[in-house]
Structure 1
Amino acid sequence: MTTQLAVDENAVLVDVSNHIATITLNRPRKLNAINKAVITSLGDALRQAEADDDVRVVVITGAGGNFSAGYDIANSSVVASPDAATAHHYLSAEAALTMQLWGLAKPTIAAVDGWCLAGGFDTVLACDIVVASERAQFGMPEIRYGSGPVTLLLPYMVGQKLSNEIFFTGDSFTASQAKDMGLVNRVVADDELQKAVNELAAKIVPTPLPILKFTKLGLLRAYESMGLRQGVQANLDLSAILNKAVTEEGAEFFRIVEQDGLGAALKWRDKRYGTTA
């Protein structure tokens, strides 16, 4: 049986079938960039999936051949914030959504195709299992336009040295490289992604829901005993200050966004770093 959950269909699509809730970020023309509607609708969808005893596995994916390019910086409340205190308010909502996904009582699988950057990458890091297509590309490019990670999960996944390189350079990397780092469980052919995710979810579904919940709770507590939640909160406070730091480069980037659009600003940014990614 297939059912539809009541959420904003313009922001996310939600389908429940065979004990699997599939939540699809649905802004393909914007590379599924995360805006206020996505934050609200994804949060609602996660709450409904968690409360539905028919759901045992939650799959997160993106429409149109990409997972997500991250937060919608062209229409960002954080960027428009007049000061760090206001930025902190909006960043808190973004971090809360990622941590809601992290702490979901049921197993989660990220199905990643195409671009998976910044806040989109944070979303994937918050999932329990990651399956990626061969063409998937990951990265944390925020530093290149004067921003930083909202939810600092990466150091707990790959350790200090790799985290430093990823955050300091803003470089993107392939699904194969992500698998070598331990960030991806499986890399599959582009046209096999959905099949691979369905097969993996089907292996989890037969387990009784209480067993799944307590198993996941134990795994979460193992990470949180390392200080994960405290680290996320500490970074959130610094992220608000970082996002309101005044630099010539940051001012020029957002001047170009306002005058010529985000695409032109990204080209300007990438030229500075000698890359087209």
Structure 2
Amino acid sequence: MTKSVENLVIIEHHDAVAWLTINRPKKLNALSVELMRELSTALTEAEADPAIKVVVLQGADHAFSVGYDITQEVEMGVSTAEQWHAGLTNNIGLSMQVWRLKKPVIAAVSGWCLAGGCELAMACDLIVAADDAQFGEPEIRFGSGPVTLLMPFLLGQKATNELLYTGDIITAERAQELGMVNRVVANAELAGAVDQLARKIALTPLSILRYTKRAITRAYDAMGLTSAVESNLDIAAVLNSAHTPEREEFTNLVATRGLGAALAWRDKRYGAVDS
């Protein structure tokens, strides 16, 4: 079965596995408000369907997602802490829906997996990455920051500090070394590797999968994950509303010359030290 409401999320059922494809390839699968709403609905349906045991989340056309739609945020004029808090609450809601879904979720990642897209992948129970996948939270470089603060719990303090202070983007191999990724395979083998893993997990009775995931999720809650994510929401709202010359220039470039020009300006600032 294949269906889509607004063509932003393609849903395919392969026996007991639901494949959800983020389908905005011309925007590198940027997470717009509309796309997140449709993906949330698809996740809810997969969770409620007794025939589905495992969910796979992937992006269309060899990119997972470059994160939240910056152009849309600029067009909506989001600027105050109150406005950011409302928007970021919605963003966190989607990632935590994946985190708390009562069925295992596997991220099949190829190409860019950045910012909110990286957080969405980290919220999945497992990540299988193609060898061309790249992960990171580069939004720090223009005056934004992580929204769903999962990274400290998955990577530890030192690796998290380096990635979030520098905005560096890392390869799939490095992500696996840090514990973010379970497996790295050749791009051509990604779908097959994920399918095999999903089918193996689906052999486990659904009730056992649910209780096992609940136990793991509660263990992280006991470590303070949910509290950290909720606390970061308040900080992120203030962080995103803070005025800096860099943020002002970036926003102006997005509004006047487009996101590509803004990203080129951002990357040029770091070019000398990245080379």
Partner residue in 2 for 1:45: 42
TM-score after normalising by structure 2: 0.97
* Preserved CA contact (<8 Å) 2:74 2:254: no
1:17 aligns with 2:14: yes
Match of 1:86 among 73, 78, 83: 83
Runs of 4+ in 1 over 6 A off after TM superposition: none
**In 1: Cα distance, 2:204 partner to 2:158 partner:** 37
Match of 2:160 among 155, 159, 163: 163
Aligned ranges 1:79-228 → 2 under 5 Å = 80-228=77-225
Partner residue in 1 for 2:232: 235
* Preserved CA contact (<8 Å) 1:43 1:97: yes
Partner residue in 1 for 2:254: 257
Identity within the alignment, %: 50
**In 2: Cα distance, 1:29 partner to 1:78 partner:** 18
* Preserved CA contact (<8 Å) 2:74 2:251: no
1:203-256 deviation digits (Å, cap 9, x = unpaired): 111111101100111111111110100000000000000000001111011111
**In 2: Cα distance, 1:133 partner to 1:186 partner:** 8
RMSD: 1.5
Unmatched 5+ stretches in structure 1: none
Structure 1 residue 78, shift from structure 2 partner: 9.4
**In 1: Cα distance, 2:250 partner to 2:230 partner:** 28
Structure 1 residue 17, shift from structure 2 partner: 1.6
**In 2: Cα distance, 1:33 partner to 1:73 partner:** 8
1:48-68 deviation digits (Å, cap 9, x = unpaired): 000000000000000011000
**In 2: Cα distance, 1:164 partner to 1:82 partner:** 26
* Preserved CA contact (<8 Å) 2:135 2:175: yes
SS of equivalent to 1:196: helix
Aligned residue identity for 2:27: K
Unmatched 5+ stretches in structure 2: none
Structure 1 residue 8, shift from structure 2 partner: 2.4
> How many residues were matched structurally?
274
Structure 1 residue 79, shift from structure 2 partner: 7.0
**In 1: Cα distance, 2:175 partner to 2:75 partner:** 29
Task: Decide which moves more: 7-16 or 157-166.
Answer: 7-16
* Preserved CA contact (<8 Å) 1:67 1:115: yes
**In 1: Cα distance, 2:156 partner to 2:74 partner:** 31
Match of 2:244 among 243, 247, 256: 247
**In 1: Cα distance, 2:6 partner to 2:62 partner:** 18
Structure 1 residue 142, shift from structure 2 partner: 1.1
Match of 1:61 among 51, 58, 66: 58
**In 2: Cα distance, 1:30 partner to 1:42 partner:** 16
**In 1: Cα distance, 2:8 partner to 2:173 partner:** 30
**In 2: Cα distance, 1:47 partner to 1:29 partner:** 26
